Structure 1
Amino acid sequence: MSHSHDEDPACAAAHGQVSPGETVLPGEAGRTLVAVFASPVADHLLRFGVELGFRPILLEPDPDRGLGGLSAGSVPVVREVGDHLDGTADVVVTDHHRAEIGPILRDVLGSPARWIGLMGSPRHEGPHVRALTELGVPPGEIARVHRPIGLNIGSRTPPEIAVATLAGLIADRNGRPGGFAH
């Protein structure tokens, strides 16, 4: 029995008829993945994200921090929130211990970014809540920051955290809940 791969994007991908990074769904707009702060998780998010069709950007406000494990020129690096945070942007804050977390998140919340997430354990309130409250950000805006991020797969290492996060963003992009419930 033959069938058309044009009607089944997953089948076309499985048979190698879709290039890495190519958008599988017809008419799907491209998405931008912005990793905030150079970190091991940001390295994996951005490298894997390219293969998954995201336009990668590293937002690192401190020029002395370098690029983490990314090589120069591998992804665009920006120092502040700007026009690159458009309505296609999925923003992932990869270090919740940085002093700049409040101002960065305040500025990201003021942008048209479509999804904003912050790494961290769900067992206690994230430091972003206090930082944003002190900056006068209303509770409704603070609630737009997703935490924890990614699918609950028990990830512990930077590559696992990146995979879980990207899987959640792919589920969101495809209008699916994520997980194994179909």
Structure 2
Amino acid sequence: MAIDDPSCAVAHGETPAATGTRTLVAVFASPVAALLLRYGRDLGYRTVLVEPERGRVTNEEAGETTVFTHVPDLDEHADIVVTDHHRVELGPVLAEALKQPARWIGVMGNPRHPGPHVAALRELGVADSDIARVHRPIGLNIGSRTPPEIAIATLAGLIADRNGKPGGFEF
């Protein structure tokens, strides 16, 4: 029996979900990054991990996703999520990411604290207009505290943004 509502048909497995050529880039290996990549694959993303220190990448991560030590060439279908704003490589990696035509770039962090990425990028001479492309805070405001909750809130926010929906981003 055919189902008339396309979203209902997808839920019943009658129509494949459209995934396109979306790419999810998690920057810096972390528990949240591992979950973003795992859940991202389930959502149809091609997944990429950027980790400048190869020793931080687990065998599982290396076996399930593409791993780079630098930001690879990306297109306008890429979403980039920086999962650790305390890393010394934050500025240089974000500056690399901002050279890409990525659809969306965000940095995780507590919305009550200033984002360290701004000073790090200004130190490197990155223009304010480019710095403004970086989203912070990211993810839906659901009070997430654990890595799985943070990953789900982040991916839900990306989906809402991609679909032009507000998604509860207000903090």
- What is the TM-score of this pair, normalised by structure 1? 0.86
Residue of 77, 81, 104 corresponding to 2:71: 81
- What residue number does 1:178 align with? 167
Q: Structure 1 CA distance, aligned partners of 2:11 and 2:158?
A: 20
Aligned-residue CA RMSD (Å): 1.9
- What residue number does 1:72 align with? 62
Cα pair 2:34 2:61 within 8 Å, conserved: no
Structure 1 residues 67-123: Cα deviation after superposition (integer angstroms, max 9, x where no partner): 3x834321110111222x211110000000100000000010111111000000111
Q: Structure 2 CA distance, aligned partners of 1:18 and 1:159?
A: 28
Percent of aligned positions that are identical: 64
Specify the code of the residue in structure 1 equivalent to 2:134: V
Q: Which runs of 4+ in 1 moved over 6 A?
A: none
- What residue number does 2:42 align with? 51
Alignment of 1:115 onto 2:104: yes
| Structure 1 unpaired stretches of 5+ | none
Q: Structure 1 CA distance, aligned partners of 2:111 and 2:75?
A: 28
Alignment of 1:136 onto 2:133: no
Deviates more, 1:159-168 or 1:28-37: 28-37
Specify the code of the residue in structure 2 equivalent to 1:109: L
Q: Secondary structure at the match of 1:33?
A: strand
Cα pair 1:57 1:77 within 8 Å, conserved: yes
Q: Structure 2 CA distance, aligned partners of 1:48 and 1:131?
A: 30
Aligned length: 169
Specify the code of the residue in structure 2 equivalent to 1:164: A
- What residue number does 1:17 align with? 14
| Structure 2 unpaired stretches of 5+ | none
